[in-house]
Amino acid sequence: MKSQKIVPNIWCNRNAEEAGEFYASAFPGAVSRVESRYPSEGLLDFQQDFAGEPLTVALEIEGTRLTLINAGSEFSPNPSISLMLNFDPLMFGGDEDAARARLDSVWRALSGGGSELMPLGEYPFSKRYGWVEDRYGVSWQLMLTDPAGEPRPFVIPALMFGGAAQNRAVEATDLYVRVFEDSEIGTRVPYEQQTGPARPDSVMFSDFRIGEQWFAAMDSGVEQDFSFTCGMSLEVLCEDQAEIDRLWESLSAVPEAEQCGWLADPFGVSWQIVPANMGELMERPGAFGRMLQMKKIVIDEL
């Protein structure tokens, strides 16, 4: 991937470094490293135990960057946002058996200590597919891709609209494509009939592009007792304050959720709207403490 503007962030319960090492071992060629640490001073009372500990762990899988946030038990991932993995035979010189073998190997690694949400097997939409929640609560959809179809990246964040956000996938993706520059709707596959809480005009599957990245969105076909939380958020790396201001105004819909550059949109999806050079800015003396007092990030005040 040439440019990644939006980075999926995974909330971890004091084990981000351990989780990063696990994922690096599960995916051939993946790399994990501690990217930043909590400062030794300027922390809030509930953060004191984290002084000097890892704050963020950078994980790279097949050219896609993920960030693991080392925090407490306040939030945890759930299947409302999963990571879809496309095992395209073209990645293996057109060898479907090699793609299938790699899929099975990653499945075994991720399912160890986890739970199957959809068993690995053949489905109408793929000759080999499975949905698993790993030992850290992160959901992964593994799919053997038809090489004759339109190519997609290996890792695609997938949003499932259920619970309070049921049947709002089309509305949400339309908003995202309006808000983000250089974006477009890709595929939309509607439900053909009422399926559980999903209406015929809801989408069984859809995808959309923002810049060089692809995302998937679907309406749940079964009742869900969960929806979007800070357990999995989307971090947007902004070029300047003007872009931060524009995205904040366009996406933020829950004032009480605004904190430290985080917001919740009208569908409950958590976003972090931050400067692209946030790491550099946080190295300024006292910047961490000043950031804790902000809702929207104001670069000049860091």
Residue 1 in domain: no
The predicted-structure confidence for 54-101, as pLDDT tens digits, reads as follows 999 999 999 999 999 999 999 999 999 999 999 999 999 999 999 999
Do residue 202 and residue 245 come from a single domain?
Answer: no
Taking 50 as the pLDDT cut, the residues of the chain under it are: 1
Say if residue 247 is in the same domain as residue 204: no
Residues 86 and 65 in one domain: no
Same domain for 60 and 90, yes or no, is: no
Q: Is 124 in the same domain as 168?
A: yes
In this structure, what CATH number is given to the domain that contains residue 101?
A: 3.30.720.110
Residue 143 has phi, psi (to 5 degrees) of: -135, 130
The predicted pLDDT at position 173 comes to 98
- In-domain check, residue 119: yes
Same domain, 112 and 207: yes
The alpha carbon of residue 224 and the mean position of all alpha carbons in its chain are separated, in whole angstroms, by 19
Distance CA 158, CA 274 (A): 22
Same domain, yes or no: 131 and 69: no
Q: Which of 197, 219, 241 is the endpoint of a domain?
A: 219
3-class DSSP state of 274: strand
Pairing of strands 139-144, 81-87: parallel
Whether residue 53 lies inside any domain: the answer is yes
Write down the pLDDT at residue 2: 53
Q: So what's the pLDDT on residue 1?
A: 43
Asked if 132 and 48 sit in the same domain, the reply is no
> Does 118 share its domain with 213?
yes
Query: Tell me: the pLDDT tens digits for 10-36?
Result: 999 999 999 999 999 999 999 999 999
Q: Are 72 and 85 part of one and the same domain?
A: no
Domain assignment of residue 292, given as a range: 6-76+230-301
Residue 175 contacts by C-beta under 8 Å, 6 or more apart in sequence?
A: 250, 265, 266
* Separation between Cα atoms, residue 11 and residue 6, nearest integer Å: 16
Flag whether 225 is in a domain: no
Phi, psi angles (nearest 5°) of residue 241: -65, -35
- In this structure, is residue 286 part of a structural domain? yes
- Domain of 68, CATH number, reads 3.10.180.10
pTM (whole model) above 0.75: yes
The Cα 227–Cα 246 span in angstroms is 26
Residue 122 falls within a domain, yes or no? yes
Would residue 87 count as lying in a domain?
yes
Residue 54 contacts residue 37 (beta carbons within 8 Å)? yes
Residues 130 and 260 in one domain: no
Q: Is residue 14 included in any domain, yes or no? A: yes
Closest CA to 138 of 9, 271, 8, 10: 10
Answer with the one of 219, 240, 268 that is the final residue of a domain.
219
Asked if 200 and 242 sit in the same domain, the reply is: no
Number of domains, the chain: 2
First to last CA, the chain: 30
